[in-house]
Structure 1
Amino acid sequence: MTPVTVFARRKVALFGLGGSGLATARALIAGGAEVAAWDDKPESRDKAAAEGIAIVDLTQADWGQFASFILAPGVPLTHPQPHWTVGKAKAAGVEIIGDIELFFRERTKLAPKAPVVCITGTNGKSTTTALIAHVLGSAGRDVQMGGNIGTAVLALEPPSEARVHVIECSTFQIDLTPSLQPTVGIQMNLTPDHLDRHGTFEAYGAIKERMVSSAEIAVVGVDDEPSKQMARRRAASGRPLVKISGEQPLDEGVFAGITANQGKLDTRIVEVRDSRPRVVANLAGIGSLRGSHNAQNAAAAFAACAALGLSVEEIAAGFKSYPGLAHRMEELGRIGRVVFINDSKATNADSTEKALTSFRDIFWILGGKAKEGGIESLRRYFRNIAKAYLIGAASDEFAGTFDEDGSVAYERSGTLDVAVAAAARDALAQPGEGEIAVLLSPACASYDQFPNFEVRGDRFRALVKALPGFEPSSKS
């Protein structure tokens, strides 16, 4: 835990008693603050009260007594309309901040030079965060990882010059962190997302750019135009910038070069300094980093770790031992030449696109509760599909898409257990040589048949592991 001492002997209001809210309340109390906590859900209030956290009805409270108001990132700050607590805080002139702001204030007090890496972007945040933490840890650094991934930031150990914090940041969190100033700030990419919470794409991007603007060293992806513009503005400021790309060579920065090698694709990470390029890592054979999207993730991780003083050899070794994230292009294991991939976290077509570009001859399990647009945007990748297996509520819609296209064989499996058995049967009977994949990448939310994508992915893993002849990956 990081006790928040900057509010010692002062009263603060807190709304939102989920995981990060509870961690924030504990940290404030441990630091000597008087916390008035509230949540709209009675069960959340009861859970907090059972821990001894003071529950105060903020609808009736005197807001003038509070030094600060800490808002959970999942609660609307501006759109579609501000939460009622936001109006009360503003009316009373009380600042509105989040848990990561508390972390940075405590860092300023305890150890202003403590290294902190913050990662944001529309896609790739979680993998890049986990990869950086793994590489640093494998090189012997004291690492704490959290934020929007896994552990709430204030549940981590306190900042120290001998410890590196690696923090995934959503726009919701950045919007509540006016003192954000990471040692290394990474902006991966930008495509429309969460517009219901930010109003416009421009507002969404402006929040992301705060990371680029405030970091001591900015690492910025340049594979999309909005992020490229952020990099140009950062470069114009004269402050340190490392450009990264998973798709194109760069005159300065870190990029991925993808070449064919004996029928397989080698992805080499290339660093260019003073116009001199050098290969610093090769992702060939690293199943947890396959695919062009992971090339950008690896480029970002290399740039961050190099900025923190790791050697090329240490970073390359960390890449090789990286186990990957559960449910995100997770290689479970094999039966012969058939590899089984758990990509349950792909809950929309954009996420599934990354998987469909990573393999040929795919036996694709998809379906669930469809998002707007379905799988229409994936048509250009249908040539990679050997056969599809439809599950859940989207079956009729996706069957219609396949019928209209006419190039994809499919069957209606209905449930995941039926789909796994059928896909394994067909993949093992496929003639030829070379790797083929049974891929769960649903392009859908899970809510029609599973409570969340984690439960769906765990079920897939259990079904695959029960198949005769299955050999688990050493990293699974």
Structure 2
Amino acid sequence: MTPATSFRGKRVAVFGLGGSGLATVRSLVAGGAEVLAFDDSEPSVAKAAAQGLPTGDLRDADFSRFDSLVLAPGVPLTHPAPHWTVGRAHAAGVEIIGDVEIFCRERRAVAPDAAFVAITGTNGKSTTTALIAHVLRQAGRDVQMGGNIGVAILDLEPPSAARVHVVECSSYQIDLAPTLDPTVGVMLNLSEDHLERHGAMENYAAIKRRLVAGSRTAVVGRDDALSAAIATSLELDGVKVVTISENDPVDLSAARALRGAHNAQNANAALAVARALGVSDATAHAALETFPGLAHRMEEIAAPGRVTFINDSKATNADSAAKALASFPKVFWILGGKPKTGGIDALAPFFSRVERAYLIGEAAEAFAATLAAHDVPHAVLGTIDRAVAAAASDAGKAEAAEPVVLFSPACASFDQFRNFEQRGEAFRTAVLALGGATATNR
């Protein structure tokens, strides 16, 4: 845990008591802050109180007595409407921050030269975060990895001169971190996402830009127009910028967990970070080959016979699914869920790669209409287990030497599952039920 000693003696309200919220309360208390924590969910408040954490009803609190309001990332700051605590804090002139901001202040207070790598982007940020951490560990560094991936940032060990923090940051977290200042900031790409929380694409892009604008070295993708424009603007502002592309040469032939052109961009981001932190190219390139990959992100599930099953449940939008489709010449494609704006229309250039599509979830009928308009063979199956059984049967009869069943939903998971992880586990379970299959990264 990182005790928030920079908040010693401060009076802090915390709203949102999920995993990161609980970590924030523990950090603030350990650092000597006076904390009052609350959540709209009574069970969440009860859970925090049972852990001995200071809870109370913020609805009855005098906000003028607080120095800060700390929001959990999932709590709306601006859109679709500010949370009621935001209005109370604004009226009282109280700053509104998040857990990443607390970490940044603590780092500046106790170890300002400690290496801190922050990663964002619409797609690929979790894989890139894990890859950077892997490369640095292989180089012998003491690495703490977390944030929007895995461990809450304040549950990580404290910053120190001998330690590197590698932290994935969502747009929600960046929005609550006004002084975010990583040693190396990485912004991979930008495409339409989370507009319900940011109102418009320009707002979303401006929030993402803040992560790299505050960094000593900015590593920025140049494969989409918005990111390329941000890289140019940062250079004009005097920021040290390294641009990366999926078209930059990098040998990933021996890195099975990094298949696909999009992973070339992720790998080049990791190499750029390694160089910025003094790791040799030889060490970094060797580390790419031993990267095990992440569950639910182009994860290969080994099965007997010649059919390969790919679990890409993290593909929650069309842009991410496009990268998966581009990785294989032909696929038996399972997709669907809770659709996002635009559906799968943008994926039409990849439909020629689809042998047959298997549709699940809320989006099934709409996606079926899109596929029918492009003469793509498809079937509405409704559930993952039925889709896996049908796709496996069809792939087993295919003429290809190594047919691929690709689960890349191009949708959110919330119609049938709590999150993409639970959805990916459902796919894994269905594949394993075919008999003799094992996940290659487990």
2:228 match: 228
Distance 2:400 2:207 in 1: 50
2:67 match: 67
2:258 match: 289
Q: 1:377 aligns with which of 331, 335, 346?
A: 346
1:460 match: 427
Letter paired with 1:419: A
How much identity, in percent, do the aligned residues show?
59
Q: Does 1:9 align with 2:30?
A: no
Deviates more, 1:130-139 or 1:461-470: 461-470
Distance 1:87 1:472 in 2: 47
Distance 1:339 1:93 in 2: 57
Distance 1:9 1:214 in 2: 28
Residue 285 of structure 1: CA displacement? 3.9
Residue 410 of structure 1: CA displacement? 2.4
Residue 106 of structure 1: CA displacement? 0.9
2:331 match: 362
Q: Is the 8 A contact 2:301 2:437 kept in 1?
A: no
| Residues 40-70 of structure 1 deviation map (CA, whole Å, 9 limit, x = unaligned) | 1111111111111222222221222222221
Letter paired with 2:299: E
Residue 472 of structure 1: CA displacement? 4.9
Q: What does residue range 128-139 of structure 1 map to in structure 2 within 5 Å? A: 128-139=128-139
Q: Does 1:326 align with 2:326?
A: no
Deviates more, 1:346-355 or 1:296-305: 346-355
Residue 222 of structure 1: CA displacement? 1.2
Letter paired with 2:85: T
Q: What does residue range 56-205 of structure 1 map to in structure 2 within 5 Å? A: 56-205=56-205
| Residues 301-352 of structure 1 deviation map (CA, whole Å, 9 limit, x = unaligned) | 1100111111112111211111111111111124343211001122232221
SS at match of 1:460: helix
Residue 71 of structure 1: CA displacement? 1.5
1:418 match: 386
Q: Is the 8 A contact 1:287 1:331 kept in 2?
A: no
Deviates more, 1:181-190 or 1:462-471: 462-471
Q: 1:335 to 1:360 in 2, by over 3 A?
A: farther
SS at match of 1:445: coil
Distance 2:92 2:309 in 1: 56
TM-score computed with the length of structure 1 as normaliser: 0.89
Residue 84 of structure 1: CA displacement? 1.6
Letter paired with 1:312: D
| Residues 242-285 of structure 1 deviation map (CA, whole Å, 9 limit, x = unaligned) | 111113xxxxxxx2x3xxxxxxxxxxx2xxxxxxxxxxxx1114
- Runs of at least 5 residues in structure 2 that lack an aligned partner in the other structure: none
- Which consecutive segments of 4 or more residues in structure 1 shift more than 6 A? none
SS at match of 1:145: strand
TM-score computed with the length of structure 2 as normaliser: 0.95
Of Structure 1 and Structure 2, the greater strand share is in 1
SS at match of 1:116: strand
SS at match of 2:60: coil
Q: 1:400 to 1:175 in 2, by over 3 A?
A: closer
Q: Does 1:444 align with 2:411?
A: yes
Higher radius of gyration, 1 or 2: 1
Q: 1:409 aligns with which of 348, 363, 377?
A: 377
Q: Is the 8 A contact 1:335 1:471 kept in 2?
A: no
Q: Is the 8 A contact 2:190 2:226 kept in 1?
A: yes
Q: Is the 8 A contact 1:212 1:230 kept in 2?
A: no
Letter paired with 2:153: V
Letter paired with 2:134: H
SS at match of 1:205: helix
SS at match of 1:300: helix
Deviates more, 1:340-349 or 1:445-454: 445-454
Q: Is the 8 A contact 2:78 2:198 kept in 1?
A: yes
Q: Is the 8 A contact 2:148 2:167 kept in 1?
A: yes
Q: Does 1:431 align with 2:399?
A: yes
Distance 2:43 2:23 in 1: 17
Q: 1:300 aligns with which of 246, 269, 274?
A: 269
- Runs of at least 5 residues in structure 1 that lack an aligned partner in the other structure: 248-254, 258-268, 270-281
| Residues 76-117 of structure 1 deviation map (CA, whole Å, 9 limit, x = unaligned) | 222222222112222222211111111111111111100000
